[in-house]
Structure 1
Amino acid sequence: MSNRKTSPSIILAANLLIGVILVFILWVLKDVLVPLAFAGILAILLLPVCAFLERKRFPRVLAISLTILIVFGIVILVITLMVGQIRSLDEVWPQMLEKGEEWLKMGQNLLSEKLNMQQAEQLTKGREYLTELLKSSSSLISGTLSNTTGFLANLALIPLYVFLMLLYRDFFEEFLFKLFKNVAHDSVLVVTNKIKDVAQNYMSGLILVILIIGALNTLSLLLLGIENAFFFGFFAAVLVLVPYIGVAIGSILPIILALITKDSAWYAVGVAISFGVIQFLEGNFITPYIVGSKVSINSFAAIVALILFGNLWGIGGLVLALPLTAIVKVLFDSIDKLKPWGFLLGDVEED
C-alpha cells in the first residue's frame, strides 16, 4: 500500500470546494434555515423557563405550551402598544401633506431659478423618471413579494420548531452522544452547555440593551418635544439587533417627523445629535459592557460576519450573525484542529 501524503495544495483545494458548497447550501436553503436558526436560539433562551416549570411538576408538554403562550402574550402586548402609537400618527398626516407641498414648491422654484426649467418641463421630466423607476422596480417588487411570501410561511413555523426542539431536547442530546461516540459524554455536555450559555447570555443581554437604549431615545425625544416619542424611541432601540448601524437607521423617522412638525430645522438637528450620542454610547460602552463580556468576538470578525450573513440571509442574517458566530467560536475552541480559527474570532488580548 502507498504511504504517500496528500499534497497540501489538494487539501487546500478540497477545503475551498467544501466551503463553497456549504455557502451555496446556506444561500439556497435560507428560507428554511433562517427560521430554524431563530427557533434554535429562542428554544435555548426559553429553556430555563421551561425547565423551571418542569421542576414545579408540570408535564413537559404543558410546560412548553405555557412558556410559548407567555412569549405570545408579550409579543401581542408589544404589538398592541405599537399599533396604538401608529394610529396616533394619523394626526400628523395633514402636516406631512402640507409640508410636502411646501417642499415641492421650493424644489420647483429652485429648478426654475438655477436651471431655467419651467413647470411644464419639470412635470414632463418627473413623469419620465417616474415611468423608468416603475419599470425597473416592477420585477424587483414581484421577486421580493414571492420570496417574502415563502419566507413568512416558514417564519410562521417558528413556534412549532421551538415546541419540538424543547420537547425532544433529551433526544437531541442522545443523538450528539451517538454522533461523537469516541468523545467522553462529559466533554460533549461541556460544549453544549457553553453554547447554551453563549446564546442565553447574548439574548438576555441584548434585551437589556434594547430597554436601556429605548429609554434613552424616548427621553431625548421627549426633551425635544417630538411627538410619539415612545414609539420612535423603542423602534430605533429594536434596530440594535442590527449592530453598529441600527440606532442610526432608527433615527431617520424621528428626524423626518421633526422636519415636518416643527417650525425650526434645529429640532431635527437635535434628534440627529442625540441619537448619534446614544449610538456612540451603545457601540462603545453599553453593548460591549452588557453583551460583549458574554460574547467574546473581536470587532473585525463581527463586521465580517455581519457582511457575510447579511449577504446570505438578508435582514435575518444581520440579526443572527453575532450569536451564530459566537456559537461557531465555541465549536472551534472545542476542536483541536480548529482552535486557531477560534482564536482568530476571539477578542484581542491587550498587553
Structure 2
Amino acid sequence: MISVVSRWYQERFSDPHAVTLFLLLVFGFSVIYFIGGLITPFLVAVVLAYLLDWPLIQLMRLGLSRIWATVIILMLFVTMMVMLTLGLVPTVWHQGVNLVKAMPTMLKEGQEFLLMLPKENPDVFNEELIKAALLTLQEHIVGSGEAIVSASFASLFDLAAILIYSILVPLLVFFMLKDKRLLVNSLVKILPQNRRLAMEVWTEMNGQIANYIRGKVFEIIIVGFSTWLVFFFTDLQYAALLAVLVGFSVLIPYIGAAAVTVPVIVVGLFQWGLTPEFTYMMIAYGVVQALDGNLLVPILFSEAVNLHPIAIIMSVLLFGGLWGFWGVFFAIPLATLVKAVFNAWPKSITEEA
C-alpha cells in the first residue's frame, strides 16, 4: 500500500511546477475558508473590479487616461446603484411587508383546502397525515418567523459595518482598477519561480471569471426584468418582490429556479386559484425560465455549458457548504478551475505513453 502511494506521489508531484500550483490552491482555499468573513469587503471589491474593468478599458481606448477612466466609471456605477436602491428597494420592502401580513390568511386558506381533500376523496388522502404535515409546516413557519425577527434586530447593529463597507469597498475598487498592473506585477514577483502551471491556470481562469461575473449580472437583470414584465402584465400581486427573487435565483443554478417557483405558485394560487389567469401566468413564467436556461445561459456562459449539470449542482452544494454565499456565487468558476487544474496537471508516465 505504501509503495502504491509513494509511486502515485512521485508520478503526480515530481514536477516542481505542479507542487507550486498545489500549494497555491491549498493556500487560497484555506484563506477563504478560515478568514473569508473578515475579508468580505475585499471579495466584494474584487467582484466589482472585474465587473467594471471592461467598460474602463473601453473608455481608455477612446483616449482617456486610466485614472480618469476609473473615476468616471466608478462615479457612474455608484450613481446607478444609488438610483436603483432609492427606486427599487422601497417598493420591494413595501411588497415584502404586505406579503408577510397576508401569510396568515394564505396559510388559513391553504389549510382549509387541504383538509377538504380527505372529505372529498377519502380513498386517496389520509386526514391524519395531512394534519400532521400541516402541524409540521406551522412549526417551520413559526421558526422561520423568529429567525427573521432575530435577523432584523441583528441587522440594526450592523449599520455601522454597512456604513464602513459603503466607504471601504468603493475605495478598494478604485485602487484595484487604477493600479491593476502594479498590483498584478507585485503579486507575480512574490510567487515561486516554478510557477508555469500556476500561470497557465491563472491565464485561463482570469478571463473566464471576468466573463462569468459580467454574464451573471446581465442574466440577473434580464431575467428579473423579463419576469417583472410577465407579472406586471398578468397583474400578479407582489410583482416587484417576486421578480427580484427570480432574478437573484439565477445565482444558484438549477436549484434556485426550482426554489423560487414555489412562492410564485403560492401567490398565484392565493390570488386566482386554479383559473385560466393562473395558467396563463405560469405558462409565461415558464417561457422566461426556458429561454433563460436554453438560450441566455448558453450565450453568456459558453464554458459553463461544457460542464455536466451534475458537476454544477455538486459544485453548488460543495462550495456553498464550505463558503456560503461566495461558494454558491462562484460555484461554476470553481468547477471550471478544478477542470482547468486537472487538464494542466502533468500526466503520469504511463498515461503519456
Q: Does TM, normalized by the shorter one, top 0.5? A: yes
Structure 1 residue 111: Cα displacement: 11
Aligned residue for 2:321? Answer: 311
Structure 1 residue 57: Cα displacement: 5.9
Structure 1 residue 70: Cα displacement: 1.9
Q: TM (normalized to structure 1)?
A: 0.66
Tell me whether 1:337 sits opposite 2:346 in the alignment.
yes
Q: Classify 1:35/1:280 alpha carbon distance in 2 versus 1 (closer, same or farther; 3 Å).
A: farther
Structure 1 residue 299: Cα displacement: 3.1
Paired residues, what number? 318
Structure 1 residue 161: Cα displacement: 3.1
Aligned residue for 1:171? Answer: 182
Letter of the structure 2 residue corresponding to residue 307 of structure 1: L
Q: Deviations over 1:30-84 (max 9, x none)?
A: 2145554443233123123333445556554443233222222222233233234
Q: Matched residues in 1 for 2:230 and 2:328: separation? A: 27
In structure 2, the residue corresponding to 1:218 is in which secondary structure?
A: helix
More relative contact order, 1 or 2 (CA 8 Å, 6+ apart): 2
Structure 1 residue 320: Cα displacement: 1.5
In the alignment, structure 1 segments of 5+ residues that lack a partner are 117-121, 340-351
Tell me, yes or no, if the aligned pair for 2:99 and 2:238 is still in contact at 8 Å: no
Q: Deviations over 1:201-260 (max 9, x none)?
A: 223333333344334423433453313435533430232121112233333333232233
In structure 2, the residue corresponding to 1:225 is in which secondary structure?
A: coil
Aligned residue for 1:254? Answer: 264
Residues 293-304 of structure 1 mapped to structure 2, 5 A cutoff: 293=303, 296-304=306-314
Structure 1 residue 101: Cα displacement: 4.9
253-262 vs 314-323, which moves further:
253-262
Q: Classify 1:165/1:94 alpha carbon distance in 2 versus 1 (closer, same or farther; 3 Å).
A: closer
Letter of the structure 1 residue corresponding to residue 346 of structure 2: K
Tell me, yes or no, if the aligned pair for 2:36 and 2:323 is still in contact at 8 Å: yes
Tell me, yes or no, if the aligned pair for 1:41 and 1:199 is still in contact at 8 Å: no
25-34 vs 237-246, which moves further:
25-34
Tell me, yes or no, if the aligned pair for 2:12 and 2:347 is still in contact at 8 Å: no
Tell me, yes or no, if the aligned pair for 2:315 and 2:334 is still in contact at 8 Å: no
Letter of the structure 2 residue corresponding to residue 337 of structure 1: P
Aligned residue for 1:214? Answer: 224
Q: Classify 1:167/1:149 alpha carbon distance in 2 versus 1 (closer, same or farther; 3 Å).
A: same
Aligned residue for 2:252? Answer: 242
Q: TM (normalized to structure 2)?
A: 0.65
1:83 corresponds, among 60, 79, 89, to 89
Identity of paired residues, percent?
22
Q: Classify 1:286/1:304 alpha carbon distance in 2 versus 1 (closer, same or farther; 3 Å).
A: same
Residues 1-351 of structure 1 mapped to structure 2, 5 A cutoff: 7-8=6-7, 25-32=31-38, 35-54=41-60, 60-86=66-92, 89=95, 98-103=105-110, 157-178=168-189, 179=191, 181=193, 194-262=204-272, 264=274, 267-268=277-278, 271-293=281-303, 296-327=306-337, 329-330=339-340, 333=343, 335-337=344-346
Tell me, yes or no, if the aligned pair for 1:30 and 1:312 is still in contact at 8 Å: no
Aligned residue for 2:351? Answer: none
RMSD between superposed Cα atoms in Å: 5.0
In the alignment, structure 2 segments of 5+ residues that lack a partner are 14-18, 349-353
Q: Classify 1:320/1:100 alpha carbon distance in 2 versus 1 (closer, same or farther; 3 Å).
A: same
